[in-house]
A and B are shown apart, each in its own frame.
Chain A
């Protein structure tokens, strides 16, 4: 836990890259201090819970919710592609991909 949590302009630019948002310079200037203020206020909880407190990720403690391995009708190709900005040959057309698959 950092002592005084804040988000620098550089860190914000890195986060924006991770989140795939092209922030303008003006936005970087504007958002960095805003986020630092929010972060400072939420960081107050950092020492509230002891180590032995279990985390809650679900409000209700359910387990083993499964579906049977049965095929159910889905979308037609036309429905699947209905929102596509571009399509070709019944596939989603996307701009050239830079990176490798993971």
Chain B
């Protein structure tokens, strides 16, 4: 048997390192998977990153991966590296709730394309991660199954909606995770947990099997601890899918190559645009300080920095909060107690309509109801042109701003989120304050461009992580990997190691190897 420190080492390795170790035969997928399951058992009671843990399934997939490795038939570079999947992705045979009561106990009879690709590439699925209900939120407090806590400070939020995936990475419960980003749900949790998150170009990763929040904005992507890991995972899940009509029918750029090249640290010839409108008022001082430091490091690496203006970005938040509720109100209509999910039957002799109304009242949380009503309003006759129609036009203006800016810069940069992680409960009853968390991340969703969030360090005033966001033109995802990896390399050198090494130990961190008992953590 391995000694406890070996286990600890396994969970702290990057996915790329684990893949190398598996390829070299230095460890096995079963060992790696078990180490993460043990870690989940030890810390997830506090963190609550997972809604369900599939120990048995993950270990059997790991054993199959080891068998393939043993005969030299690895299905991908990441074959055998375990992964966590946001609960918004349909997983055949594994409950999928989207953080909502209305889907409690629903076990999909099919796999999302992303999940099918993970299985085909041999990645054991550890379980499903917590999220704001139907991905509506920026704190994971809107999960019907209780909030996820930030591993840096358990009294704080891990961001949202994909707080579960980001926290699982930050707490070393998984070496990789899948997130989804409609207005920042991959990038903002990455920023506030000191991890890496990528929102690919819209259409770059299949949405088939991703339970839609806002179809024209949603995009699945990697949640990791390093830029290279994100590139490796993106390569597994990305590319054309005939089941998604909005999927791009073109090969992915060489993302892993771009990340490796970036890590060499040379950004000569790269024009970095600082977006004037994404900073200043409303942004925490410590976040801005870390951002400026990152820009300075990029200059030191040879980049040319220019300031660009995107005047219509100030309308992005309002545009987003018209488009999203409208699409969501229609998407969520299917949760009606007829075919799957919760059914609440009121007293008396209720009709189908009565059952629908009672079920939707009981099954949806406040934020979901708010957005369904808002979307119903925005689409209703007499208001469509003023709201949804107008929002689609402003979307065009925002895209034109991007096109203009990308004439002067190869990538655009900004802080990922305006603040570091706030306290649980602080904004849960103030929707508008909550919405401001996505100020900087939303424009990319409205225009479909790719973006990455890379840790930029700890804010001086609270010692909590902040992130820098790098955006590139549509389909130029390789640029965010190149620049992201260069910045990451410079920062690692400055810090003398990963930012997460500076986090306070979690309960159980230094304990002996935990028991192998597994089970759902919720």
Contacts and interface: CB of A to CB of B under 8 A. Distances in A.
Q: A contacts B directly in the complex (CB < 8 Å)?
A: yes
A19 B339 contact: no
Contacts of B246: 58, 60, 62, 65
Interface residues of B, number: 69
A59 B474 contact: yes
Contacts of B364: 21
Nearest to A59: B448
B357 interface: yes
A89 interface: no
A59 B216 contact: yes
A19 B372 contact: yes
A46 interface: yes
Contact of B355 (A41, A82, A95): A95
Contacts of A80: 109
B111 to A, nearest CB: 12
B358 interface: yes
Contacts of B396: 49, 53-56
A48 B374 contact: no
B329 A19 contact: yes
Majority SS at the chain B contact face? helix
A79 B109 contact: yes
Contact of A53 (B333, B350, B397): B397
Given A55-B392, A83-B106, A98 B370 contact: no
Interface residues of A, number: 55
Given A31-B369, A53-B396, A56-B392, A94 B352 contact: yes
Given A56-B395, A92-B338, A20 B353 contact: yes
B386 A59 contact: no
Contact of A82 (B109, B242, B353, B354): B109
18 contacts: A18-B380, A19-B360, A22-B357, A34-B431, A38-B370, A49-B393, A53-B393, A60-B448, A65-B245, A83-B106, A83-B109, A83-B340, A85-B337, A86-B343, A95-B352, A95-B354, A96-B351, A98-B353
Interface of A: 1-2, 7, 11-12, 15-16, 18-24, 27, 31, 34-35, 37-39, 41-46, 48-49, 53-60, 62, 65, 67, 75, 79-80, 82-86, 92, 94-99
Interface of B: 106-107, 109-110, 201-203, 216-217, 242, 245-246, 248, 312, 315, 318-319, 321-322, 329, 333, 336-343, 345, 349-358, 360-361, 364, 369-370, 372-374, 376-377, 380, 386-387, 389-397, 399, 431-432, 446-448, 474
Q: Which 4 A-B pairs have the closest CB atoms?
A: A59-B448, A83-B340, A55-B392, A49-B393
